[in-house]
Amino acid sequence: MSSSPRVSNSSPQAAPATPPVVTPMGWMHTARFLTTAAQLHHLPAMDTPEIAFVGRSNAGKSTCINTLTQQKQLAFASKKPGRTQHINLFALGKQGITDAVLADLPGYGYAAVAKMDKLRWQQVMANYLVSRENLMGIVMMCDPRHGLTELDDILLEVIRPRVEQGLKFLIILTKADKLTRAEQAKALSIARLQAGGGEVRLFSALKKQGVDEVAQLLWDWTHPKEGVPVPAPAKPPEDEPEALDE
Ligand code: GDP
């Protein structure tokens, strides 16, 4: 006599079919290199939400990206000879499914770059910030000991129309371990005034300060709750945007 086959999912011990819990930090750690491009039209058109990291050279951008993604060499790929003036894209998402893209833009204001190269590059970058359609947020790295520089201010002007249309914006005050508590509080309040309604966070790669908060914010940006409208798509610029020059 044959017994009836077991139906495995009727067992009380069967594992529930819920997806694994994804934490913002775990999500950041899935970062993987996607592509690199010297010109805007070489970037793949994508409909995945993209967040750009910008900042003056030496502001701590590479260290911040590597700390957030917990991958020592990821953003330093952007510092390899030949790639310093490229836009480098990194994919984020569990199980190989990309649900957000990080764009590492070259540091600006580096003195040892030939003037013509600088101008050409700044135009590429300004075009990217104004016209990249899936760009939904910008993270600006700033060393609070120097504050926002003139180049940072020009960049803020370039992106202002998109921020007014709903583009997310965050200023990360890097190297916070170099400041006293009072200096941190002062830097925060100054940057909040300059961020024009955007977010500001203190960050230290050395002390791991601000890491969870920034990961959570980027997660929230790219995984909006249902019913929250996503920012309007970019309109192509009517005029060439102003170059970021010193
Ligand atoms: P980038 O040019 O903006 O990519 O800057 P880097 O990430 O290369 O950092 C510039 C310098 O600042 C390096 O010497 C880093 O070690 C240092 N740095 C970056 N982040 C921190 C930080 O959180 N604390 C301290 N004390 N130094 C940092």
Domain ranges of the chain: 33-222
Counting ligand 1 atoms within 8 A of each CB, the residue from 63, 64, 86, 206 with the most, and so the one to mutate, is: 63
Q: What average pLDDT does the chain have?
A: 85
Query: CA separation (Å) from 33 to 26, 63, 96, 98, 159?
Result: 17, 16, 12, 11, 26
Query: In terms of CATH architecture, what is 33-222?
Result: 3-Layer(aba) Sandwich (3.40)
Q: Which residue has the tokens 């970037």?
A: 43
**Exposure on the CB side of residue 115, measured as CA atoms within 13 A:** 1
Is the shortest distance between the CB of 210 and ligand 1 below 6 Å?
Answer: no
Would you say residue 242 has pLDDT above 50?
A: yes
Measured distance CA(27)–CA(214) in Å, rounded: 12
CB proximity list for 208: less than 8 A, separation 6 or greater = 67
Is the shortest distance between the CB of 55 and ligand 1 below 6 Å?
Answer: yes
Q: Percent of the chain beyond pLDDT 70?
A: 79
Is the shortest distance between the CB of 62 and ligand 1 below 6 Å?
Answer: yes
Q: What is the pLDDT of residue 44?
A: 95
Would you say residue 150 has pLDDT above 50?
A: yes
Q: What is the pLDDT of residues 192-208, one digit of tens each?
A: 999 988 999 999 999 99
Residue 57 CB-density burial (10 A; 0-12 exposed, 13-18 middle, 19+ buried): middle
Would you say residue 2 has pLDDT above 50?
A: no
Most confident of 4-13, 204-213, 230-239: 204-213
Cα(63) to centroid(ligand 1), Å: 6
Cα(174) to centroid(ligand 1), Å: 8
Q: What is the pLDDT of residue 201?
A: 98
Q: What is the pLDDT of residues 92-107, one digit of tens each?
A: 999 889 999 999 998 8
Cα(97) to centroid(ligand 1), Å: 31
Is the shortest distance between the CB of 148 and ligand 1 below 6 Å?
Answer: no
